[in-house]
Structure 1
Amino acid sequence: MEWNNMEEIRDLDRFNGLFTLYDNVLGLASLDASSINGQTEEATYRFPFDSDKRMMLWVLTGECSIRMEGIHYSLDSKDFLLMLSGNSFRFLSVSPDFKAQMIIAEKNYLDECISNKQILSFFYQLLIKRALQISLTTEDITLLEMDFINLKKKIESPNHSYYKEQVSVSFFSLLLDLFHSLDNRSKNSFLHPSTRKEEIFNKFLNLLMENYKEQHEVAFYANRLFITSQYLTLIIKELTGKTVNRWIDENLILEARKLLKTTGATVQQIADELNFSDQSTFGKFFKKHHGISPIEYRRTQARVV
């Protein structure tokens, strides 16, 4: 079973009913040996495996072998795999008793669901790892399994008066349990920077989470790290594929979307909170990244069921 780059999570609908989908931002699948081995070798399966998607998989029972961009991963029962970048993914083999759960999330939706900045920073630190494989406890896996089942039920109940909120809260609850499990694994030993550049990246993230609303200039972060703006940009681009300016802009846009969707604050109030000089400047910034004005974005969100 193999997936290559794709643009839309809704394309997962083609996978023989394996995936439960939500609003083109989330896909859930319960996998077993028959669902993997039942796919024909000739079939082309697409997996949303690009910079805008994230994939999480944990093994309930059995084992499997996976290849991602020429790298093999062998997963046993209770192993967890987080994939953050790449362009191909393939199951090479699965044991007869293999069972696993998989979640594919659109990056922006995942980030919006993580309201805790410490957790968001923790997740961002994983980006330079490209993929994270770690063994969890039986209790961790059992909890994730229950969260997965609950989230699936919420997605399958679109007539609920607060459908969007229920799905978001359920997904966030799963993420909280996941990050709690990861946080307990050797006190994040897998996140400890192994190079000076990774150390700078981690310090930059901490500064960014604390200051992005007020500080939009690269020079601020470089000065606080006692390096030049050019060197900081070089490091961040090398490790993450994104510039410092893009990191700042993405966090501003993420916060702007949250405020527009979840508060009654005016556009002017949001512009003030995010330290834009005026409403017009904020509007141009927002439209540059979304193609529509903040007011239009708020209206589209109000129409989403």
Structure 2
Amino acid sequence: MKRYVISQWINNEAILKGQAEELATNDKMAVFLLKGENILRSSQLEESHPAFLFLSKGKLSFKLNEDHIEIHAPAHLDFILIHPWSKMKTSKDFEGYFIMTEKSFFISISESIRSKFVGLIYQYAHRPFVPLNEQVVQRISLYINILINIITQPEYHFRNEALENMLRMFQLEIWNTVFNLYKNENTDEQHLWNDILSHFLHLVRTNCRFHHDVKWYATQLCVSSDALSAKTRRMYDKSASQIIDEYLLVEAKACLNNPIYSIQNVAELLSFSDQAAFYKFFKRCSGISPSQFKKEKKQENLNSKRND
């Protein structure tokens, strides 16, 4: 892991003071032992590596979705970036293991077990932290020690495979705790998916100019691409990709209707790789080319002025 990514989360001054001890680092994962007051910073990159914290002593407080949260050890926290974390403070007796993973590595592991807990993942994403009992603490401590040993052991021939399995075990341990936490709550899955789909439509309206792929939206919503498309088909009789295309086409037509924008300008505004890719998208979704659309709109505007 690159240090500049880690420094987005951990107070640089704390690193210099020795309050942040680097236990193990490679290109897939970094493990830090954090101790002391205000060692974590709230600033973060929009696109960052997945990070989580095993809080073993003390407490951590922060604001999440305008709510003031205070977490006491022992606990686990997932730093899910779809929500802003701010005013992060740790107590003087704070101690915890901070683990950050390379994004594609983490996603590949999560995808293999996501179906096991898809019904709760969106609910958990809004409050991504759980208290831990003594038995779970013992097992997680063991997993962390094994992770560190695998990363630091020289000439470990199956390092990536072993890290995948241990990280998968770690996640399953946390999700078992999440299931136990929510088992007595009456979770209405249909109501939950209604909330997810509502959030999806909002994301598409506000981000379709910049993100065209279903996978990006599914990641923000903490669901799989297949599950999201299955639900949109059931609810709207359209795939998630079709819905994105519809909103993007509306944006494209609005831009093309503006005489100050060339077709190349519109392709750039809508984040297409080049004009040819935009041309192909527009022709597929509207049945005519962008140039033909501009020509027809220009003629319509002239006719409208004549009639006035």
Which category of TM-score, normalised to the shorter sequence, fits these structures?
0.5 to 0.7
Aligned to 1:222: 232
Aligned to 1:246: none
Give the 3 Å change call, closer, same or farther, for CA 21–160 of structure 1 in structure 2: same
Residue 100 of structure 1, CA deviation? 1.8
The 5-angstrom pairing of residues 80-119 of structure 1 reads 80-85=76-81, 86=83, 89-94=86-91, 96-114=92-110, 115-119=112-116
The 5-angstrom pairing of residues 65-144 of structure 1 reads 65-67=61-63, 71-85=67-81, 86=83, 89-94=86-91, 96-114=92-110, 115-119=112-116, 121=118, 125=122, 129-144=125-140
Is the Cα contact below 8 Å between 1:32 and 1:100 reproduced in 2?
A: yes
Give the 3 Å change call, closer, same or farther, for CA 75–191 of structure 1 in structure 2: farther
CA distance in 2, matches of 1:176, 1:163: 20
Equivalent residue of 1:29, what SS?
A: strand
AA partner of residue 32 (structure 1): K
Is the Cα contact below 8 Å between 1:126 and 1:191 reproduced in 2?
A: no
The 5-angstrom pairing of residues 8-47 of structure 1 reads 8-9=5-6, 15-16=15-16, 18-33=21-36, 36=37
Identity %, equivalent residues = 12
Aligned to 2:226: 208
1:64 pairs with 60, 66, 83, which one? 60
Aligned to 2:215: none
Aligned to 1:247: none
Is the Cα contact below 8 Å between 2:26 and 2:151 reproduced in 1?
A: no
Unpaired stretches in structure 2, ≥5 consecutive residues: 201-217, 245-308
Moved more, 155-164 or 14-23: 14-23
Give the 3 Å change call, closer, same or farther, for CA 157–206 of structure 1 in structure 2: closer
AA partner of residue 160 (structure 2): K
Unpaired stretches in structure 1, ≥5 consecutive residues: 1-5, 40-44, 213-217, 236-305
Aligned to 1:156: 152
CA distance in 1, matches of 2:236, 2:101: 35
Moved more, 8-17 or 96-105: 8-17
AA partner of residue 21 (structure 2): L
- State the Cα deviation string for residues 93-145 of structure 1 (Å, max 9, x = none): 40x43222222223321121232242473685358x35413222222222212
Aligned to 2:248: none
AA partner of residue 98 (structure 2): M
The 5-angstrom pairing of residues 169-208 of structure 1 reads 169-187=165-183, 189=185, 197-198=194-195, 200=197, 205=223, 208=226
Is the Cα contact below 8 Å between 2:53 and 2:76 reproduced in 1?
A: yes
Residue 53 of structure 1, CA deviation? 2.6
Give the 3 Å change call, closer, same or farther, for CA 24–157 of structure 1 in structure 2: same
Aligned to 1:270: none
AA partner of residue 222 (structure 1): T
AA partner of residue 144 (structure 1): I
Residue 173 of structure 1, CA deviation? 1.9
Moved more, 67-76 or 107-116: 67-76
Residue 228 of structure 1, CA deviation? 4.1
Residue 54 of structure 1, CA deviation? 2.3
Moved more, 192-201 or 129-138: 192-201
- State the Cα deviation string for residues 15-67 of structure 1 (Å, max 9, x = none): 4453345444422222222xx4579xxxxx68655344322223222223234
CA distance in 2, matches of 1:186, 1:161: 40
CA distance in 1, matches of 2:54, 2:72: 9
Larger Rg: 2
Is the Cα contact below 8 Å between 2:42 and 2:87 reproduced in 1?
A: no
Give the 3 Å change call, closer, same or farther, for CA 46–232 of structure 1 in structure 2: same
Is the Cα contact below 8 Å between 1:58 and 1:102 reproduced in 2?
A: yes
AA partner of residue 208 (structure 1): D
Is the Cα contact below 8 Å between 1:67 and 1:92 reproduced in 2?
A: no
Give the 3 Å change call, closer, same or farther, for CA 92–226 of structure 1 in structure 2: closer
Is the Cα contact below 8 Å between 1:154 and 1:163 reproduced in 2?
A: yes
